[in-house]
Structure 1
């Protein structure tokens, strides 16, 4: 190799090394400039703030669906506790910029009205392996407000023994949200189920999760009646067509099938006028005053109840407090009921059909009597 070739080869290597060093320098400089702009623009604070959601409320908050709900708004989370409840609250940092955001997941492993108060049979079932309901009135003017509840069977973390069930509720008020949209309802449901299961596993018990809730319905109202012949949800199988005709039943208000803490069905006459309401209440959803009243009713001597109000009870697995099922005439029938106006054997048979179907979905068994 000639001396000229050697010199050019050495020069070429030096030039390449210089380009590499220069490129590295430019890259580092670009990173510094970009990082500085990111810092000055508040991006660093926003990034840190967003990452804080992943560890919010002791690491139990279901952060991803919260991000979906707040749509980029800056929020903060805090833990609140009471004697028999725990709450993770998410709220806005600047409500003037993003509007009001208030999402509260409240969990209890004991009977507490703070989590069971809003459970209604007209709520849409969560389905997908969960026992719970979603409450949103599609006719409401405020479409940024909704709630949902869930009950989880619980086993002790150190043994196979059942523990008290975990009950939880989420209440949301988000100005920018529209819970009339199925994806927004699913996101709020994911906040509830994800946070509740994480809390239960961290502090309380072993639970079995349901599947992700991709679709959840909305609450029904008294005017959401349908022809009785088309029932397929909570009213299905209660009475046959001949009995319905004899009772004057033409319509029904029902929810989609699926286990909830409170279930029910209203059979109605023309234009949805309510005639008979069937209801089922599980565990802590049955308030103690109502429980005492129904227990007294269940222990009455056999025979026809003058007001047509009947009750059945069920034993449920684990340490649940059982379940109660009732049927009651509605409207004028309840105050003016008579032996001639009411089909008492038919009412008792219809209540048993309703109770057995509901109990089966919860793994419960109707008590004899």
Structure 2
């Protein structure tokens, strides 16, 4: 319903200004509407031809917003076409924006962009009841996020670009899926040049995996992605995973034979790890990751197990959380057998994840 209302409003506004441009300024917001509006969107960091190629040639409305140091945000709406939100962030400021780095949702795992890019491709999900009473899956809020490692002497250490498409989206056709990444990759290329980043850029994205829904299980013993190598023991038999491919964030869920989730494992690299460590330093609980102690820690209350490794782009962080269906951390005491399995699972997960990113061997849990 919200998306339909948004489209109706955008259509009316765009139709009203199709022949006459205008600029409105309200504090940190700027709304532009004319044929050249794309040239000024997001500080001029968008490729006008690419945006037009993806969203269409209709009348355009732009909303620019600055949200403090290091973050630029804009929205692009095209009448009769599509709408996107673009965020560009100096990652040294990522700790100031806890929700700034895209990791996917709890229900849908983001997959690696690949093709030489350090990034994620994911989507939200709606469960829709159709007339035949069968549940169907529709994706919404499709996001491509990219991290640029800068080499310039007068540039930020790294930059982050994300593009979110808000609206009904079909991702089922593998041939059409790469279209969702074009604005992100073209913007990243321009950002790297304008901000003197000098990052090594990826190639054109010609293929993409489909985001993985939480209920896509497979036997743990045959896992060959982010859950590979984790022992199928201690009642754990089912895994939900994505492929590996240089993504800055990786995830693995472990479940028992009845498909009840027992553990969640995550890996963070580069600016993703820096943000997690920054947030942990703000946390008042003991047993959270400590950037000054790159080794395994365990909170006796069962909050988290973690370890770390040294990587080309800084310290990586690997975590394990006991989990219960419904998204709640298990708070009851764990047995010695539980703890022994957690050490083995975290070690296997961290070792393979670190190796895939060219990192040193993680500290032994």
**TM-score, normalised on structure 2?**
0.71
Match of 1:234 in 2: 226
Q: Give the CA deviation at 1:295.
A: 1.8
Q: Give the CA deviation at 1:127.
A: 1.2
Larger Rg: 1
Q: Contact conserved, 2:104 with 2:123, CA < 8 A, in 1?
A: no
Q: Contact conserved, 2:296 with 2:307, CA < 8 A, in 1?
A: no
Distance 1:71 1:353 in 2: 47
Q: Partner of 1:206: helix, strand, or coil?
A: coil
- The 5 Å alignment of 1:70-81 reads 70-77=55-62, 79-81=64-66
Q: Specify which of 84, 87, 98 is matched with residue 73 of structure 2.
A: 87
> Over aligned residues, Cα RMSD in angstroms?
3.7
CA 1:269–1:303 in 2, change beyond 3 Å: closer, same or farther?
Answer: closer
Q: Does 1:146 align with 2:142?
A: yes
Match of 1:128 in 2: 115
CA 1:184–1:78 in 2, change beyond 3 Å: closer, same or farther?
Answer: farther
Distance 1:301 1:163 in 2: 30
Q: Contact conserved, 2:355 with 2:361, CA < 8 A, in 1?
A: no
Q: Partner of 2:211: helix, strand, or coil?
A: coil
Encode CA deviations 1:317-345: one digit per residue, 9 max, x unaligned: 24x4x22111222229933343344151x
Match of 2:162 in 1: 169
Q: Give the CA deviation at 1:279.
A: 0.9
**TM-score, normalised on structure 1?**
0.71
Q: Give the CA deviation at 1:247.
A: 1.0
Higher RCO (CA-CA < 8 Å; seq separation 6+)? 1
> What are structure 1's unaligned runs of at least 5 residues?
1-41
Match of 1:338 in 2: 334
Q: Contact conserved, 2:295 with 2:363, CA < 8 A, in 1?
A: no
Aligned length: 310
Q: Contact conserved, 2:55 with 2:82, CA < 8 A, in 1?
A: no
Q: Contact conserved, 2:89 with 2:160, CA < 8 A, in 1?
A: yes
CA 1:205–1:299 in 2, change beyond 3 Å: closer, same or farther?
Answer: closer
Q: Specify which of 77, 80, 88 is matched with residue 106 of structure 1.
A: 88
- The 5 Å alignment of 1:320-359 reads 320=314, 322-331=315-324, 334-344=330-340, 346-359=341-354
Q: Partner of 1:201: helix, strand, or coil?
A: helix
Larger strand percent: 2
Q: Give the CA deviation at 1:304.
A: 9.5
Q: Partner of 1:156: helix, strand, or coil?
A: coil
Distance 1:279 1:349 in 2: 15
CA 1:347–1:87 in 2, change beyond 3 Å: closer, same or farther?
Answer: same
Distance 1:199 1:303 in 2: 40
- The 5 Å alignment of 1:278-357 reads 278-285=265-272, 286-287=275-276, 288-290=278-280, 293-295=288-290, 305=300, 307=302, 309-318=304-313, 320=314, 322-331=315-324, 334-344=330-340, 346-357=341-352
Larger helix percent: 1
Match of 1:66 in 2: 51
Q: Give the CA deviation at 1:219.
A: 2.5
Q: Partner of 1:171: helix, strand, or coil?
A: strand
Distance 1:69 1:331 in 2: 41
Q: Contact conserved, 1:308 with 1:342, CA < 8 A, in 2?
A: no
